[in-house]
Each structure stands twice: as structure tokens, then as C-alpha cells.
């Protein structure tokens, strides 16, 4: 989150960003997929872009993800150069609800949106956004909208 910005209560996704997440999640099924959400931070965060990253967790790809650190760094640098913020990250839960798991919670960072997409039998069925307040100990659900 950009310095001095308050936490957005809503995560907005552009139609093209949402379409990219859906396509990636369905194509990656039955494994978890992951990616980076780029846009503008503020009271109404809007993810204008969703960029897929490789899940380098090959041992437990069905129920865990590990974003390729080189891809993540490249996307974050590119965002900075283009005046965009890294609003957060997304990943899928194959054949599970879009609820933050204990693993999701323990690995989350403060001040970052996490979009979780439920994929059942290869089709996206739900989406939920999550956020950890500075100093918070658990992810809290945020409203997510296509805008």
C-alpha cells in the first residue's frame, strides 16, 4: 500500500483484471494458481491489471502455492515504473471455498489485499477479498466488486 494511504474497504477489479483471474484459475485447475494485482491504492482500491505468476510449489500444487519470486519482483518493478501500486495478490482454491485458510492467514502481509477464487470442477464459482490491518493477527474479509 502506498505510504500515507488508508486501507481500502473494497477491492475493485476492472472487468479485464477479473477476466484474467478467472481464465488463469480455470486453466490451472486442479492446481492452485497465483498472481499479482496492480492498480491504484487508496480509499477505493482498483485493480486495473491481474498478472499470472507461476506456482513453483510442485510438491503440493493442488493445495499450496509459492509465487515465482523472480516473476513477482519483475512485476513489482514494472508497476513502479508505470506509476502503479501492487494492491495485492490472488490465488485459487481448487474444490474448496474462497475462505482464507490457516496457511493463507499465517503467510499474509499487513496492508495487502488477497483475492481468493474458488474453483469447483474447473469453473470459478466464488471470489472473496481478504486484508490484514497493520498490527492485526488475522485476515478480515473485504468487499470485492467488478467495476
| Domains of the chain, residue spans | 29-146
Q: Which residues contact 143 (CB under 8 A, 6 or more apart)?
A: 9, 10, 11, 129
Give the rounded percent of residues in the chain with a pLDDT score beyond 90.
82
Q: Give the lowest-confidence range in 16-20, 43-47, 49-53.
A: 43-47
**Contact of 128 with 99, CB cutoff 8 Å:** yes
At 1 the pLDDT is 41
Confidence of residue 30 (pLDDT cuts 50, 70, 90): very high
Q: Which fold has domain 29-146?
A: Cytidine Deaminase; domain 2 (3.40.140)
**Contact of 126 with 118, CB cutoff 8 Å:** yes
d(CA 31, CA 42): 32
Q: Which of 3, 26, 32, 71 is catalytic?
A: 32
Please state whether 122 falls in left (phi above 0), alpha (psi between -120 and 50) or beta: left
32 is known as an active-site residue? yes
At 63 the pLDDT is 94
Amino acid at each position: 500500500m502506498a505510504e500515507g494511504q488508508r486501507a481500502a474497504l473494497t477491492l475493485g477489479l476492472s472487468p479485464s483484471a477479473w477476466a484474467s483471474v478467472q481464465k488463469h484459475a480455470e486453466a490451472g485447475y486442479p492446481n492452485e494458481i497465483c498472481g499479482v494485482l496492480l492498480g491504484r491504492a487508496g480509499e477505493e482500491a482498483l485493480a486495473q491489471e491481474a498478472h499470472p505468476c507461476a506456482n513453483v510449489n510442485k510438491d503440493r500444487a493442488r493445495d499450496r502455492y509459492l509465487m515465482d519470486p523472480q516473476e513477482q519482483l519483475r512485476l513489482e518493478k514494472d508497476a513502479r515504473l508505470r506509476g502503479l501500486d501492487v494492491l495485492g495478490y490472488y490465488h485459487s482454491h481448487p474444490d474448496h471455498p474462497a475462505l482464507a485458510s490457516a496457511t493463507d492467514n499465517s503467510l499474509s502481509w499487513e496492508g495487502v489485499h488477497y483475492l481468493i477464487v474458488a474453483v469447483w470442477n474447473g469453473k470459478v464459482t466464488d471470489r472473496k477479498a481478504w486484508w490484514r490491518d497493520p498490527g492485526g493477527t488475522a485476515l478480515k474479509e473485504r468487499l470485492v466488486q467488478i467495476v
